[in-house]
Amino acid sequence: MLPTTAAAALVVTATGATVAESSAALTFEVSGQQTALARTEQAADDATTSDLASRRQASAMQTAALQGRVEAKQRAARSAARKAAAEAAARAKAEREGKRWVRAIKTGTLTSGFGPRWGKTHDGLDVGAPTGTPLYAMSRGTVILSDNVFSFGNKIEIRYWDGTVSWYGHLSRRDVQTGDTVMPGDQVGLVGNTGHSFGSHLHIEIHPTGGDNPINPAPWLRKHGIMVG
């Protein structure tokens, strides 16, 4: 009997143990499955969170990149606007500069005025100055004549931006050619005593509408703030 009882007990014990073990194993297994499931879910959540985070990050980066591009465009636009404004200002300044009026000769002595002289009309002013004294363009314009002509000697005619034409006569030297563009104050030649002249001087005429219609230069020069002599 004993072996049988013992065997039975053992069996029971063994069975119980087995059952217990199985139960524990099952519990463990279930618990393990739950844990695994939980882990899977957590992993899925983490993955979702991570995915969401990386998508958020990507989105943030895209936003930053877009913002960067927008800012770069704004900077470029501001830079272009500044450049355009600077160019417009430079053009306006050049325009103003070009429309300035300056004296034909810096210093000299008025020796003969406009009007009747020696039985005919003197069509300009005579400004006595030493030979070699520089002569200047009075404003922006075009040289329409640079030549040695009878009576005037070396003569320069300039048509200015407003249509006025000035004549300079008796020059010792001409520094510009017909067709040249001049700006206010550009040196165009030197005072001299060439042509029909008795002494070194500048003969200056003003023809407001071009052609050969001289006016008294004095009021015109005064009006422009550039009276000579």
Binding site for Zn ion (CB under 5 A): 126, 203
Q: Which is nearer to Zn ion, 126 or 157 (CB)?
A: 126
**Residue written as tokens 């069996």?**
11
Q: Which is nearer to Zn ion, 5 or 121 (CB)?
A: 121
**188 and 158 in contact (C-beta within 8 Å)?**
yes
Q: How far is the CB of 154 from Zn ion (least distance, A)?
A: 14
- For 218, the token pair is 């004095």
Which H/E stretch holds residue 169? strand 165-171
Q: Which is nearer to Zn ion, 125 or 226 (CB)?
A: 125
Q: How far is the CB of 206 from Zn ion (least distance, A)?
A: 13
Question: How many CA within 13 A on the CB side of residue 157?
Answer: 17
Q: How far is the CB of 124 from Zn ion (least distance, A)?
A: 5
Which H/E stretch holds residue 96? helix 2-98
Nearest alpha-carbon partner for 139 in 180, 105, 184, 179: 184
Residues written for the chain: 229
Q: Which is nearer to Zn ion, 122 or 224 (CB)?
A: 122
Q: How far is the CB of 131 from Zn ion (least distance, A)?
A: 16
